[in-house]
Amino acid sequence: MSPVLPDPDSTTVVVVVGAGPAGMAAAVQLAEAAVPVTVLDTYPAAGGQYHRTLAPGLDRGRDAPSSGPSGSSGPSGSSGPSGSSADPVVAAFTHHLAARAIDLRSTTTIWAATVEDGPTPFVLQLAGPGGTEVAGGPALRAATIVLATGATDRMLPFPGSDLPGVLTVGGAQALLKGQGVRAGERMVVAGSGPFLLPVATALAEVGTEVAAVAEAQPLTTIARHAPVGWQHRATLVEGAGYAARLLRHRVPVLDRTAVTAARGDGRVEEVTLSRLGPDWAPVAGHDRRLAVDAAAVSFGFVPQVGLAALLGCAIAPDPVWGDPAVIVDAHQATSVPGVYAAGELTGVSGAPGAAAEGALAGLAAAHALGAIDTAALKERGRLQRRARARQQAFAAALGRMYARQNGWVGWLSDDTIVCRCEEVDHATIRRAIVDLEAADLRSVKLTTRCGMGMCQARMCGDAVATLVAHHRGEPPSDLGALSTPTVLVPVPLRRLAALATTQDAAPAGGGHEVRPPLDDQHDRRPTPDA
């Protein structure tokens, strides 16, 4: 039985969850349609990972980035976007934020949500850092929600990956850009995907000795599937620019190579770099050791679909990457009326595509609320639909360039920690599958405690699913979900103890009539209008 949540203390017409490129673009379209919109974001400043730069109040110096891979500093002391004001979405968001057309609530996390009857059916439970109280009350009710929760780094385990000093590539970037802190003095950046190059470049340019960039995929595969055409020229030139800057810093970029082990006394002191075969299985006799004090390792991104699943949105494997993603129609509407989704949680395609999807979601929400007519919906979304299609084609090319292989299972020793929160090792998971005949992810969770810790499978879920699929010989999509929590993030027990005993609430309709969905067909990769 689901807990009875406290009555919301405030209402709004539209809540946008996430203030990255998708969330900002959605909020801009809603603000321009004069729809009251509240944006919730976990971080101190809007902009997301793509536009993240120095945290407010930090000085630039040797230990802080002079320029990041994704933007420049925002206004010091502001909770507005930290990306470059030259970006039109950032500039428009900043303008509407200053005009109070957008209500931005930073350092705010949704820890639970329910759907009820009435004109404002969505009730979101809010918390600050560590489950603290937030300004505006502990709950918020909305008529419409735009989900723009983004994605998180994919971390594949290896022996020693639980040592201090081993972190995700996104984590290294967040430390650098958000706190002005280098994760280490001598680092290796490893994994797979285009994200490795800009982060390694940023680290090298602030004085970090980047001992190597290790890309698991062969460069021949990357080059063979690289997108062509003038519409992708800027992105390819950007990637070549990062490679040139790394060359100036004498950083070796190695293909068909991965960090397959880390060792150290209390923290990482050394990693093993292994040559990989086409399936990413280590090639015997081609290992070498590298002395480092930090290792940033990521293998692409995994959509953050937890809140969408909690709201009841349909989720299916993304056709490009195979990860669970929210299904949307051509207007970014989900299977739940009144809920839209945009950006990486509908399938990872990059910041430009996320911004286009966010704008389309904002327009569709404004239309459903009667704030704009159908002609305006089509006209204002024309360029955004083209941008979305262009970026989705680029994402499909990236999927071929950086197709994930499952030979990484060969890196694991029996005592390799797969679930850090509960300290579950590879042998325990294999025993649950082979000896105890756990047939799906839920059974593995119940027998091993994988996914029951603080992160609720956000870090280990993808790896556990791949391991179970490998040992059972089944696709991950047939194994169910490892974790479907009703509480999304850890909160103090006092927040749970404060749950009300009644569901009665006094909703405020906001003066907007909700129209029916624009269409009933849901397709994560819609074909845009010509």
Does 441 score more than 70 pLDDT?
yes
CB-based contacts of 86-93 (< 8 A; 24+ apart in sequence): 87/51, 89/21, 89/24, 89/25, 89/28, 89/355, 89/359, 90/24, 90/47, 90/51, 92/28, 92/32, 93/24, 93/27, 93/28, 93/46
Task: Report phi then psi at 70, rounded to 5.
Answer: -135, 5
Mean pLDDT of the chain: 85
The per-residue pLDDT for 490 is 82
- Read off the pLDDT of each residue in 485-496 and give the average, rounded to a whole number: 80
**What residues contact residue 86 under an 8 Å CB cut-off, 6+ apart?**
none
Decide if 169 contacts 216 (C-beta within 8 A): no
The per-residue pLDDT for 81 is 62
Roughly how many angstroms between the first and final C-alpha of the chain, as a whole number?
48
Rounded to whole angstroms, what are the CA distances from 383 to 34, 259, 328, 331, 521?
A: 21, 42, 19, 14, 22
Question: In 256-402, at which residue ranges do the beta strands (DSSP E only) sit?
Answer: 257-263, 270-276, 282-291, 294-299, 301-303, 315-317, 324-326, 339-341
The per-residue pLDDT for 75 is 30
Domains of the chain, first to last: 10-54+72-152+302-397 (3.50.50.60), 155-299 (3.50.50.60), 409-478 (no CATH)
Rounded to whole angstroms, what are the CA distances from 467 to 159, 332, 418?
A: 15, 32, 10
The per-residue pLDDT for 2 is 40
Neighbouring-strand partners of residue 257: 275
Where are the alpha helices (H) located in 294-350, listed in sequence order?
306-311
SS3 114: strand
pLDDT tens digits for 395-408?
Answer: 999 999 999 999 99
Does 210 score more than 70 pLDDT?
yes
The per-residue pLDDT for 494 is 77
439 versus 162: the higher-pLDDT residue is 162
Decide if 379 contacts 29 (C-beta within 8 A): no
Where are the alpha helices (H) located in 10-82, listed in sequence order?
21-32, 48-51
308 versus 484: the higher-pLDDT residue is 308
Q: How many CA atoms lie within 13 A of 79 on its CB side?
A: 15
* Ramachandran quadrant class, 347 (left: phi over 0; alpha: psi -120 to 50; beta: rest): left
The per-residue pLDDT for 312 is 94
Instruction: From 198, 189, 154, 67, select the one nearest 404 (Cα to Cα).
Output: 154
Instruction: Flag the least confident range among 249-253, 331-335, 424-428, 442-446.
Output: 442-446
The per-residue pLDDT for 269 is 98
The per-residue pLDDT for 10 is 65
Does 77 score more than 70 pLDDT?
no
Task: Report phi then psi at 345, rounded to 5.
Answer: -75, -10
Percent of the chain with pLDDT over 70: 85
Instruction: From 306, 508, 276, select the one nearest 408 (Cα to Cα).
Output: 276
Give the amino acid at 24: M
Decide if 514 contacts 119 (C-beta within 8 A): yes
Pull the structure tokens for residue 308. 């969408």
DSSP state, residue 338? T
Alpha carbon distance 58, 88 (integer Å): 25
Does 233 score more than 60 pLDDT?
yes
Alpha carbon distance 124, 122 (integer Å): 6
Where are the alpha helices (H) located in 269-350, listed in sequence order?
306-311
207 versus 455: the higher-pLDDT residue is 207
Q: Which of 265-269, 500-504, 521-525 has the highest mean pLDDT?
A: 265-269
**What residues contact residue 95 under an 8 Å CB cut-off, 6+ apart?**
none
pLDDT tens digits for 278-330?
Answer: 999 999 999 999 999 999 999 999 999 999 999 999 999 999 998 999 999 99
pLDDT tens digits for 330-350?
Answer: 999 999 999 999 999 999 988
Instruction: From 26, 36, 70, select the one nearest 51 (Cα to Cα).
Output: 70
Residue in this structure with the two tokens 């004090």, named with its chain if needed: 293
Pull the structure tokens for residue 183. 């994760």
Does 5 score more than 90 pLDDT?
no
The helix, strand and coil proportions of the chain, stated in percent and rounded to the nearest 5, come to 30, 20, 45
Alpha carbon distance 297, 170 (integer Å): 9
Confidence label for 83 from pLDDT (cuts 50, 70 and 90): low
Instruction: Flag the least confident range among 25-29, 57-61, 188-192, 502-506.
Output: 502-506
Does 78 score more than 60 pLDDT?
no
- Read off the pLDDT of each residue in 97-114 and give the average, rounded to a whole number: 94
Residue in this structure with the two tokens 């991104």, named with its chain if needed: 301
Task: Report phi then psi at 366, rounded to 5.
Answer: -65, -40
**What residues contact residue 243 under an 8 Å CB cut-off, 6+ apart?**
197, 253
Decide if 138 contacts 125 (C-beta within 8 A): yes
CA dihedral 404, 406, 407, 412 (to 10 degrees): 120
pLDDT tens digits for 111-143?
Answer: 999 999 888 899 999 988 877 888 777 889 999
Residue in this structure with the two tokens 């494997």, named with its chain if needed: 317
